[in-house]
Amino acid sequence: MNRDGNAHNLRLVSAKGKTTGDAGTPFDALAFVQALSSSLELGTVLARLQEHLHAQVHHSGWFFILQESDETWSGGDEDRHRIEYGMSFNNETMGSLILMRGRRFSDDEQQLIEALLGLAAPALANALRFQRLNESLETDELTGLGNRRAFEKQGAQWLADCRRQDRPMSVLAIDLDHFKQINDEYGHSVGDDILRLVAQTLRSTTRESDLCVRMGGEEFLAVLPGADLSRAMECGERIRLAIAALRACAKATDKSALESDGAVKVTASVGVAGVGRGATLQSAYQAADEALYAAKQAGRNRVLAGN
């Protein structure tokens, strides 16, 4: 390929069969580039790319598989014949685009697709960078969970969805007991290990549809769409027991704080609140936090529900 010095950025991976195809509609390269470059939302860029490709080669369906996470976008219908392109820009692999239809893609159509994808590559790369930036801003660096920003953004979206679908929603506030003492006694590296273990525990004890975030320090939240207060209490107890079963290795002078095998004891208190009809995400968080405080006052290592 020989196109604007970017030929090495687009690589044909595989093509099944060949045929002649109908000529597409007249193509305006400037309008194409402007349409894709006018948005930084990856889904929007992909949708506009597919609209322009369809006008030229009339494919019936498509997939785009993101290289770094195997996340997939798709549209249309699967069909017998497919062609796959690996896309990269400035030596950075972005993903694979698969086009499908009932008849084979001709050589001329393949060349046209390659030309369009070469023009689309900068806009797609910008959208991917924008997505990564948003994800990094909403991710806790230490644990890989969401952060407060993720709670406010995604939680608000899920609350709106639950209201629209007339489904319940609950919030869990989780705080590790005596965590400052653990940091003081064993050091922050052990404390960080415990926070990572707790994050893994939250992932394994909640559903994929739940949102788990680290609000800061040793405080975590779980947002449970579709869960009423009873189910949320069950989830909170499941989390509490799983955290109590965690062990982190450390050396300490105060053996009373260690298990017989030299592992650090970890427990957590949990506050639970249902999101009522008139409640906001922030008021539900406050109710869960008040229940958490009550659990601490009642002796820690327990689950209590708020009003």
Q: Which of 84, 109, 218, 234 is catalytic?
A: 218
CB 243 within 8 A of CB 302: no
Nearest CA to 204 out of 230, 155, 241 is that of: 241
214 three-class SS: strand
CB 115 within 8 A of CB 189: no
β 303-305/268-274 pair status? parallel
Residue 218 appears among annotated catalytic residues: yes
Q: List beta partners, residue 65.
A: 72, 96
Copy the structure tokens of residue 188. 């922050």
Copy the structure tokens of residue 65. 């598989």
CA 2 to chain centroid, in Å, comes to 37
64 three-class SS: strand
Identity of the amino acid at 65: I
Nearest CA to 244 out of 306, 293, 178 is that of: 178
Active-site residue set: 218
